[in-house]
Structure 1
Amino acid sequence: MNRSFYVAVSLVGSFLLAGCGQSAGDSCEGSGFICEEDTRALECRGGVWREIPCKGPLGCRESDDSVRCDTSRNAAGDACASSAEGTGSCDEAGRAILECRQGVLVETATCSSCTESGGQVTCQP
Structure 2
Amino acid sequence: MRKNNDYDALWQQEGTDIKARQRNFQKKEILVGNNAAYATFQHTIITLYNHNVLTLALLDELAREYTDTDIDSGGDTGLTTKDGKTLEEVCIGLVDPQWLPVKREDANYVNPKYWEEEERYEKWYEITNGRWEWS
Q: What TM-score results when the alignment is normalised by the length of structure 1? A: 0.26
Task: Tell me: higher relative CO, structure 1 or 2? Use CA pairs within 8 A at least 6 residues apart.
Answer: 2
Select the structure of larger CA radius of gyration.
2
Choose between structure 1 and 2: higher strand proportion. 1
